[in-house]
Amino acid sequence: MSFINNALVRITEILPKSVVKQFSKKYIAGESLEQAISVVKMFNQNGIVTTIDVLGEAIKNEKESIESKEKCIKVLDAILENKLNSYLSVKPTQMGLSINEEFALSQIEELVNKAKSFDNFVRLDMEDSPYTQKTINVYKKLKQNHNNVGIVLQAYLKRTYDDVVDLCKENSNIRLCKGIYVEPESISYKDKQAVRDNFIKCLEHILKSGSYVGIATHDEYLINKSYELLNKLNIDKNIFEFQMLLGVREDLRDKINSDGYKLRVYVPFGKDWYAYSIRRLKENPQVARYIFNSIFGVRS
Tell me the catalytic residues.
125, 175
Facing residues of 240 across strands?
213
DSSP alpha helix (H) spans, the chain: 2-14, 17-24, 33-45, 62-81, 101-116, 132-143, 160-168, 192-209, 220-233, 250-258, 273-283, 286-296
User: What 3 state SS string does 44-63 have?
Assistant: HHCCCEEEEEECCCCCCCHH
In Å, how far are 61, 213, 241, 242 from 173, measured between CA atoms? 30, 6, 11, 13
Q: How far apart are CA 69 and CA 110, in angstroms?
A: 9
